[in-house]
């Protein structure tokens, strides 16, 4: 890289310890409210949010909210003070959260106005583990002799060549949080299906209605195969919410069938996404790279 670059993520993007050791990441927390108090997502344990989400009464009042612009501005100021030339910001898709717009607004709060043009906010079109996967696919670009503007172009291309799908046990959490419309939720509950949610143009869509987990696995494997044929290299990130057996099965199948797929997995999505997804499910995120 021709410049010294740091990264900012919101707290729904849980970067790995390895990423944090090798690169400078700054996390700006979203907030979770129970109707009485609001707390940073990063201050809530998985055990605590699980107990609230699974309680029929307590979960009724759960909501999440974006950080304030000042929170992002503080991150920018801190990183510039540490000597970084440019900052690249990864947030949830702007179609599902106001966090992207908040990060944009924060650029105007930087004390040195000339620094604002050195902050690049990515509309990832994804969320959570999908954003992590997109970041992971882009990190090799940092070893190239390119400008930050060229890096951002490559990052945007990777995120455009991405896909995210997941299935969950109960649609009520997505509906309650406003991430799924009433009709889609009613259909899912009525027919007791395995809903497959997909991110399409940055939005959460009930894309498929499956009868069994086997059907869902077959669908995911088909999508992985499509990416494997289309791209030279594919980054695949699994997420399991108390469904590790299914993921282990799929990891084995992928390793046996596709030599160009780089596999990683995670077993947590953080409190904000537990609010909207619940505690049971599994999914995939894919990013294709042709370099």
Q: Distance between CA atoms of 167 and 206, rounded to whole angstroms?
A: 10
Do 131 and 9 meet the contact criterion of CB atoms below 8 Å apart? yes
Q: Mean pLDDT for the chain?
A: 91
Question: Residue 160 belongs to what H/E stretch?
Answer: helix 148-160
Beta strands in the chain, from DSSP E residues, in sequence order:
5-10, 25-28, 31-33, 38-40, 63-65, 86-91, 119-123, 162-168, 194-200, 203-210, 233-241, 261-266, 281-289
* DSSP designation for 24: -
Decide which of 3.40.50.720, 3.30.1180.10, 3.40.50.970, 3.30.310.80 is the CATH code for 162-289. Answer: 3.30.1180.10
User: How much of the chain exceeds pLDDT 70, in percent?
Assistant: 91
- CATH class for the domain made up of 5-30+66-160: alpha beta
> Which among 234, 241, 240 is positioned nearest to 255, based on CA atoms?
234
> Which of 28-42, 79-93, 217-231 has the lowest average pLDDT?
28-42
Q: 178-199: per-residue pLDDT in tens?
A: 555 555 656 555 556 788 999 9
Domain limits of the chain?
Answer: 5-30+66-160, 162-289
Q: 249-267: per-residue pLDDT in tens?
A: 999 999 999 999 999 999 8
> Which of 95-99, 130-134, 283-287 has the lowest average pLDDT?
95-99
Q: Distance between CA atoms of 55 and 286, rounded to whole angstroms?
A: 33
DSSP assignments along 218-262, one per residue:
HHHHHHHHHHHHH-SEEEEEEEEES-HHHHHHHHHHHHHH-TTEE
Q: 164-180: per-residue pLDDT in tens?
A: 999 987 666 665 555 55
pTM for the structure as a whole: 0.91
């Amino acid at each position: 890289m021709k410049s010294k670059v740091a990264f900012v993520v919101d707290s729904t993007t849980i970067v790995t310890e390895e990423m944090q050791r090798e690169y400078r990441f700054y996390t700006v927390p979203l907030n979770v409210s129970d109707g009485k108090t609001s707390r940073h997502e990063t201050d809530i344990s998985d055990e605590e949010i699980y107990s609230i989400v699974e309680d029929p009464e307590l979960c009724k009042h759960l909501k999440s909210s974006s950080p304030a612009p000042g929170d992002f501005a503080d991150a920018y100021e801190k990183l510039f003070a540490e000597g970084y030339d440019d900052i690249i910001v990864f947030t949830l898709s702007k179609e599902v959260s106001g966090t992207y717009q908040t990060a944009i607004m924060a650029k105007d709060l930087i004390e040195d106005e000339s620094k604002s043009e050195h902050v690049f906010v990515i509309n990832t079109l994804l969320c959570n583990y999908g954003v992590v996967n997109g970041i992971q696919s882009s990190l090799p670009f940092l070893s190239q002799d390119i400008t930050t503007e060229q890096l951002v172009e490559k990052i945007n291309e990777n995120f455009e060549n991405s896909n995210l799908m997941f299935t969950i046990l109960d649609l009520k959490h997505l509906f309650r949080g406003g991430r799924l419309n009433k009709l889609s939720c009613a259909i899912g509950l009525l027919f007791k299906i395995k809903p497959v949610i997909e991110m399409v143009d940055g939005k959460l869509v009930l894309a498929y209605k499956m009868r069994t987990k086997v059907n869902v696995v077959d669908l995911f494997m088909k999508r992985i195969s499509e990416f494997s044929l289309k791209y030279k290299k594919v980054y695949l990130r699994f997420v399991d919410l108390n469904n590790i057996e299914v993921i282990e099965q799929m990891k084995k199948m992928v390793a046996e069938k596709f030599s160009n797929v780089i596999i990683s997995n995670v077993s947590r999505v953080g409190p904000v996404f537990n609010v909207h997804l619940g505690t049971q499910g599994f999914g995939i995120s894919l990013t294709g790279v042709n370099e």
